[in-house]
Chain A
Amino acid sequence: MLRFLVRRTLGALVILLIVSMVTYALFFAIPADPARLYCGKTCTPENLALIRHDMGFDHAWPVQYWNWLSTIFTGGTFNGVHCGAPCFGYSFDKKELVGGILLDRFPTTLSLTVGSAVVFLIFGIGTGMLAAHKQGKPADKIASGFSLLASSMQIYVAGPLALWALCYSTDLLALPTYVPITEDPLGWAGGLLVPWIVLSLIWTANYTRMTRSSMVEQLSEDYVRTARAKGMSGTSVFMRYAWRGAMGTIVTVFGIDLGVLLGGAIITETTFSLHGLGELAIHSFRDSDLSLLVGVTVVAATLIVFFNIIVDAAYALIDPRIRLA
Chain B
Amino acid sequence: MTTPTGATTDGDTSRPGSTSDLADNATTDAPADAGFRGLSPGQLMWRRFLRDRTGVVSACVVLFFVAVAILAPLISMLYGKNPETHYGQEDVSLLTDSGLPTGPNGGMSGDFWFGLEPGLGRDVLTLLIYGIRTSLIIAVATSLLTTVIGVALGIAAGYLGGKTDYLIGRVIDVLMSFPSQIFLIATMPVVTGLLVAQDENPPGWLPFVAVTLVLSLLGWMGLARILRGISLSLREREFIEAAKVTGASPMRIIFKEILPNLWTPILVQSTLALPAFVTAEAGLSYLGVGVSEPTPDWGRMIADGANFLRTDVTFLLFPGLAMVVFVLAFNLLGDSVRDAFDPKTGR
Complex Cα distance A156/B305, Å?
11
A150-166 vs B, CB cutoff 8 Å, 1 = contact: the mask equals 01111011011101100
| Choice from A26, A144, A168 contacting B310 with Cβ under 8 Å | A168
Interfacial chain B residues near A152, Cβ < 8 Å = 275, 324, 327-328, 331
Let me know if B279 is at the binding interface, CB within 8 A.
yes
Let me know if A1 is at the binding interface, CB within 8 A.
no
Contact A304:B283 (CB < 8 A) given known A156-B299, A157-B302: no
B324 touching A270 by the CB < 8 A rule? no
User: A39: shortest Cβ distance to chain B, in Å?
Assistant: 19
Among B26-55, those with CB < 8 Å from A are none
Contact A31:B189 (CB < 8 A) given known A160-B306, A160-B316: yes
Let me know if B303 is at the binding interface, CB within 8 A.
yes
User: B316: shortest Cβ distance to chain A, in Å?
Assistant: 6
A29 touching B185 by the CB < 8 A rule? no
Interfacial chain A residues near B187, Cβ < 8 Å = 26
A298 (CB) vs chain B CBs: closest residue: B179
User: B20: shortest Cβ distance to chain A, in Å?
Assistant: 24
Let me know if A169 is at the binding interface, CB within 8 A.
yes
Chain B contact surface mostly: helix
Let me know if B84 is at the binding interface, CB within 8 A.
no
Contact A301:B178 (CB < 8 A) given known A154-B283, A154-B327: yes
Among A211-233, those with CB < 8 Å from B are 213, 217
Let me know if B309 is at the binding interface, CB within 8 A.
yes
Contact A161:B185 (CB < 8 A) given known A29-B193, A31-B198: no
Let me know if A296 is at the binding interface, CB within 8 A.
yes
A26 touching B190 by the CB < 8 A rule? yes
A31 touching B316 by the CB < 8 A rule? no
A154 touching B279 by the CB < 8 A rule? yes
B181 touching A30 by the CB < 8 A rule? no
User: B292: shortest Cβ distance to chain A, in Å?
Assistant: 15
Interfacial chain B residues near A154, Cβ < 8 Å = 279, 282-283, 323-324, 327
Complex Cα distance A43/B328, Å?
53
Number of A-B contacts (CB under 8 A): 125
A8-51 vs B, CB cutoff 8 Å, 1 = contact: the mask equals 00010001101100110011011110000000000000000000
Among A249-274, those with CB < 8 Å from B are 260, 263-267, 270-271
B278-305 vs A, CB cutoff 8 Å, 1 = contact: the mask equals 0100110011000000000001001101
B residues contacting A by CB (< 8 A) are: 173-174, 176-183, 185-187, 189-190, 193-194, 198, 275, 279, 282-283, 286-287, 299, 302-303, 305-306, 309-310, 313, 316-317, 320, 323-324, 327-328, 331-332, 345, 347
Which 9 A-B pairs rank lowest in CB-CB distance, beginning with the nearest? A300-B179, A152-B328, A160-B306, A157-B320, A31-B193, A152-B327, A29-B190, A156-B286, A266-B181
A residues contacting B by CB (< 8 A) are: 11, 15-16, 18-19, 22-23, 26-27, 29-32, 144, 148-149, 151-154, 156-157, 159-161, 163-164, 168-169, 213, 217, 260, 263-267, 270-271, 278, 281-282, 285, 293, 296-297, 300-301, 304-305, 308
Known: A30-B190, A264-B182. 14 other contacts (CB 8 A): A18-B174, A154-B283, A154-B323, A154-B327, A156-B299, A160-B306, A213-B347, A260-B180, A266-B181, A266-B185, A266-B287, A267-B181, A270-B287, A297-B179
